[in-house]
Amino acid sequence: MTPPIQNIERLIGSHHGRQPGPNLIFFAGIHGNEPAGIYALKHILDRLQSDAGSFRGNMYAIAGNIKALKGGSRYIHKDLNRIWYPNSIIPPSERNYVAEYREKIDILKLLVSILDNGQPTYIFDLHTTSSHSMPFISISDTLKNRRIIKSIPVHLILGLEELLDGPMFSFFSEMGLPAILFEAGQHQAMSSVENHVAFIWTMLAKLKCISKKRIPGNNDPFTLLKNIPRGQ
């Protein structure tokens, strides 16, 4: 079981390489009852910090619905993953009392400050599901997005953004930023943390922030994902 998150700030942590390169931005806990991604990001940031290997570019770990995460609930007033699209208008009458609009504004401010370095930027949104399910990736179907997930051995589900009303990843995709959603499995399962860890390493290697050799205990990050049991 993964416990709820108590101490959390918007920027969970970041890692910056000596060599210039892309910004990889990982969001976790957009839903407050999905702490697995946060545990996985903290784990990876610790590993990157403690070994002296080279790193290209910048990795950022960003917390989603902080108020909801602290209470372990999916959201406070509105689902933070349903208020991004078709546009970013926030009704003035709701701005001050709907907690998620404050979270959204805060996230956008941080994102703008990261984009200020002018590097190519990739967004990853880490989620889990209420029932036991096999991990899957979802994207808005663009060439940019397809290029990133090419050869990643995880099921791809397209059209999710047409079923969901206003998810964050499709909003970023519309902005022209490659954006990938990853569902790691059930909310409380330790395997969901492990699947997130495998996915994050895989993306860091795929976008050449690290060499495959830097993946602890496994030189082929794709093997980590290939070994995820199917159909669970």
Q: What is the contact surface with Zn ion in residues (CB under 5 A)?
A: 31, 34, 127
Nearer to Zn ion, 34 or 209 (CB): 34
79's CB contacts (< 8 A; 6+ apart) are: 31, 100
168's CB contacts (< 8 A; 6+ apart) are: 27, 30, 80, 81, 84, 125, 179
CA–CA dist 232, 170 (Å, integer): 27
Nearer to Zn ion, 15 or 127 (CB): 127
Nearer to Zn ion, 27 or 222 (CB): 27
Nearer to Zn ion, 58 or 81 (CB): 81
Positions of E strands within the chain: 11-16, 19-28, 56-63, 121-129, 136-139, 155-158, 179-186
Rounded to the nearest whole angstrom, what is the least distance from the CB of residue 216 to Zn ion in the complex? Answer: 27
129 contacts 183 by C-beta, under 8 angstroms: yes
CA–CA dist 86, 89 (Å, integer): 9
CA–CA dist 121, 176 (Å, integer): 10
Rounded to the nearest whole angstrom, what is the least distance from the CB of residue 114 to Zn ion in the complex? Answer: 22
Rounded to the nearest whole angstrom, what is the least distance from the CB of residue 200 to Zn ion in the complex? Answer: 16
Nearer to Zn ion, 133 or 218 (CB): 133
Rounded to the nearest whole angstrom, what is the least distance from the CB of residue 179 to Zn ion in the complex? Answer: 14
CA–CA dist 187, 164 (Å, integer): 19
Rounded to the nearest whole angstrom, what is the least distance from the CB of residue 183 to Zn ion in the complex? Answer: 7
> What are the CA-CA distances from residue 124 to residues 27, 83, 92, 173, 179 (Å)?
6, 18, 29, 11, 6
Rounded to the nearest whole angstrom, what is the least distance from the CB of residue 138 to Zn ion in the complex? Answer: 11
Nearer to Zn ion, 127 or 214 (CB): 127
